[in-house]
Amino acid sequence: MQQQVDYIIVGLGLAGIALCERLIQNQKSFVVFDNNSQQSSLVAAGLYNPVVLKRFTEVWKAKEQLALALPMYKHIEDKLDITIDYKLHILRRLASVEEQNQWFTATDQPTLAPFMKTQLITKPIRGIDAPFHFGEVLQAGRLNTKTLISAYRTYLKQNNQLISETFSHEALKHQPHQVQYKVITAQQIVFTEGYGLKSNPFFDYLPLNGTKGEVLTVKIPDLALDVAIKSAVFLIPLGNDLYKVGATYKWKDKTNTPTTAAKEELCNKLERFLTCPYEVVDHQAGIRPTVTDRRPLVGRHPEYKNYYVLNGLGSRGVLIAPYVAQQLYDFIHQSKPLDPVIDINRF
């Protein structure tokens, strides 16, 4: 049976979900193809924060991203009757007097002041070695990406909008004002495949590098923590004495297989500041869709005018996805120019 929709979306990670929400809001019809092959959104720690904690600088477009992301996730929570957004303060463990001074300097900047507490957290935390205390990041949290994606798949399936199969690029037929894929005709097609874009013959020319990230789930019964700690690694509370530890960054290995070397690296970094016993209970890996210039890949194919890409969200997809989805929608339907730093025409 032939099916006519406004959009075909290929991929259901954070970018795909954000685009679905934008289309629903504007009463556009769509179907989503997803085969569960991309793991980065599923294994992501899901932490979102507006401050680059290595250099104490503002995350790119932090205010704009927060203004779109938080209402969108709240809407999804209400619609699907789930809890995915957990407000969470982040404590940056300061390693020296120099870092303390850098923190104070950063809090004086107008763009960072809303996100960084001026006064250091000096109260000791049992189980955490922090002789130079902590800086506190505000307006941060953790999104349970696994619950989000699982619930959203179910929601789309119930609405007959999810096709759980591998998309065949070879079966796609281009026509002047629409695309044909088997029995489905659509006005536009958007590829939100994450690292799977490397196998996409229409957009494989884009410099999507991909960095492998590995995370551990650990059990620490003696650590009653309700904030996230950022030091050499993140330590993120999940409840029931469980914590996420991550993440690694590897550029050569492009598999989703957890490695012993990464596990040892994460454990060694954790032990630099954790002073109580822990047990590793899970170990996961995924490939982040990262780009050479650390900016997303958004835009229209140079030849096929109704083929689009929404990708390259890297390690900050929770915040970036709603922002770039809106950018792409406004570009397609309102002819608004894309932000030049995300437009694929830069390549």
pLDDT > 90? residue 1: no
**Would you kindly state where each structural domain of the chain is located, as residue ranges?**
3-44+146-207+292-346, 96-139+211-288
Mean pLDDT of the chain: 95
Residue 37 has pLDDT above 90, yes or no: no
Place of tokens 């009653």: 224
Q: Which residue has the tokens 């007097």?
A: 97
Residue 74 CA to residue 12 CA, distance in Å, equals: 19
In which band, very low, low, confident or very high, does the pLDDT at 297 lie, cut at 50, 70 and 90? Answer: very high
Q: What is the pLDDT of residues 83-121, one digit of tens each?
A: 999 999 999 999 999 999 999 999 999 999 999 999 999
CA atoms within 13 Å, Cβ hemisphere of 214:
21
CATH class given for the domain over 96-139+211-288:
alpha beta
Q: Which CATH architecture has domain 3-44+146-207+292-346?
A: 3-Layer(bba) Sandwich (3.50)
Buried b / exposed e along 97-135 (16+ C-beta atoms within 10 A): eebeeebeebbeeeebeebbbeebbeeebebbebebbbb
Give the separation between CA 153 and CA 16, rounded to whole angstroms: 11
In this prediction, residues 222-230 reach a mean pLDDT of 95
Dmax (CA) of the chain: 68
